Amino acid sequence: MDPAEPYPFRCPSAGDGGDHVLRRELDLGAVTFPLGDPEPEPFVRFRSFLHAYHVARGQGMGDDAFVSLVRRFDAEVARVDGHGFSATPFEAWPALGRRVGLSAALWVKDETGNVSGSHKARHLFGLLLYLEVVERLGLADGATRPDLAGSAARPDLAIASCGNAALAAAVVAAAGRRQLRVFVPVDADPRVAARLGALGADVRVCEREPGVPGDPTVAALREALAAGALPFTCQGNENGLAIEGGETIGYEMVAALVAAGTELDDVVIQVGGGALASSVAAAFAETVALGILPRAPRLHTVQTEGAWPLKRAFDLVAERLPARSGRAELQAVLRDAARRRASFMWPWETTSRSIAHGILDDETYDWLAVVAAMLETGGRPVVVSELALAEANALAVEATGIAVDATGSAGLAGLSKLRTEGVIPPDAQVALLFTGFSRDSTDPRRHPLRQREGCHEDAMEATGGEGQGE
């Protein structure tokens, strides 16, 4: 990758039929994991793990200036959404664990109170910080001065999503005073569409064409990117830097485990596009490399019976492994899979529905990283029924009081199946991530769709519209 490239979001060879998701390699000698740091703002606490931070420091921006930048835009997010970013709860729920046959602790990372009501904003805030850094430092065409910030010289941002990712993108884009195009399917929740409009997003509805495979919103997104828009998306194959922001969730999990003097045996994560699983797996792998953890937990993933492209790809990779294979053999098979992506990952052939609609992606876009993490840690993918998803969601809400939606609690359905099959033993320490607030909940806490309609305009007025001086 050209170090002078202002937007290092995709590999230059992307589009040749192979899998070209960008992955970073940490200089382990240049970062220190902030154990015991009381700082609640994750992008301040874990700033040395952000590409934006190292670009800024390499171009002469001081540490204090970068922290000030983070806090300024975190405050903008708070004006738009009611609160900014803070460490989310990661706690043991013994009663819930017992309900699924665990004698050891069942840990839950609760993302339902995060910005916009899910984990998605973490991925996108890291992107916003990077865009601000390259513009302020004069590294991006058309945005070489701070006084250009917010002007028409900026490229539009674009995302394909029907739910939580779109809401997160709209909140973060509004905080950065950037124009966002959102490509949504015809069956997008009208409440989400209304909220997107209130946040100033340009919402474009995309219909499926008979006989044309793949998600029409993703196809429209790629057309917009080809025309000059920037990928403001949680899909790692479209923007590799989206994974970094998601890793802060994994870092918080690691910090809490170390503080509690324990470690995990297994983590079970629901998967749609795959960015969350990819981010958490990367965070654990990096902290193992740094010597913070002795080993990474086994990564298991969950999809619905309606669409399970990740399990299909996993099975195709696994069947190509020799009976006795080590890391070298695994890496060889993964390299071959990366070169021949369409032989392992292709759009799901049918249009399905699920109460866990957030994981019904036609493709698992970060599939290769997630498959690699499962194989390297000894995990596996599972597919669960609609009944299992409904029962798990009811149990999650009853046992914890967390107003999580069926997508966000799908990991619990996967855990139940893994326990029934004997893959996870009763004495294992397991973690789940509850990732989305239920839009149908009557929970009195802040609801991502119950913000005042004028919040975007109010945020613009409070910051003076144009101009972004420090």
Strand order in the sheet with 230-231: 202-206, 180-185, 157-160, 230-231
- How far apart are alpha carbons 421 and 384 in whole angstroms? 12
| Rounded-to-integer distance, Cα 227 and Cα 230, Å | 9
Q: Domain 90-116+242-434 carries which CATH code?
A: 3.40.50.1100
This prediction's pTM: 0.88
The first and second tokens of residue 171, run together, are 């909140």
Are 370 and 322 in contact by the 8 Å Cβ rule? The answer is no
Beta strand pairing call for 202-206 and 298-304: unpaired
The Cα–Cα gap between 223 and 40 comes to 39
Decide: residue 320, CB within 10 A, 0-12 exposed, 13-18 middle, 19+ buried. middle
For the chain, 470 residues long, give each residue's pLDDT as a single digit of tens. Answer: 445 567 777 666 665 556 656 667 778 888 999 999 999 999 999 999 999 999 999 999 999 999 999 999 999 999 999 999 999 999 999 999 999 999 988 999 999 999 999 999 999 999 999 999 999 998 876 443 344 444 446 899 999 987 889 999 999 999 999 999 999 988 888 888 899 999 999 999 999 888 777 789 989 999 999 899 999 998 777 888 889 999 999 999 999 999 999 999 999 999 999 999 999 999 999 999 999 999 999 999 999 999 999 999 999 999 999 888 888 999 999 999 999 999 999 999 988 889 999 999 889 999 999 999 999 999 999 999 999 999 999 999 999 999 999 999 999 999 999 999 999 999 999 999 999 999 776 554 444 443 333 333 232 222 222 232 32
Cα angle 231, 76, 405 (rounded to 5 degrees) comes to 65
Domain boundaries in the chain?
A: 90-116+242-434
Query: What HEC string does 336-394 produce?
Result: HHHHCHHHCCCCCCCCCCCCCHHHCCCCCCCHHHHHHHHHHHCCCEEEECHHHHHHHHH
3-state secondary structure of 184: strand
- Between CA 453 and CA 467 the distance in angstroms is 24
Q: In what order do the strands lie in the sheet with 106-110?
A: 90-92, 106-110, 430-434, 266-270, 298-304, 381-384
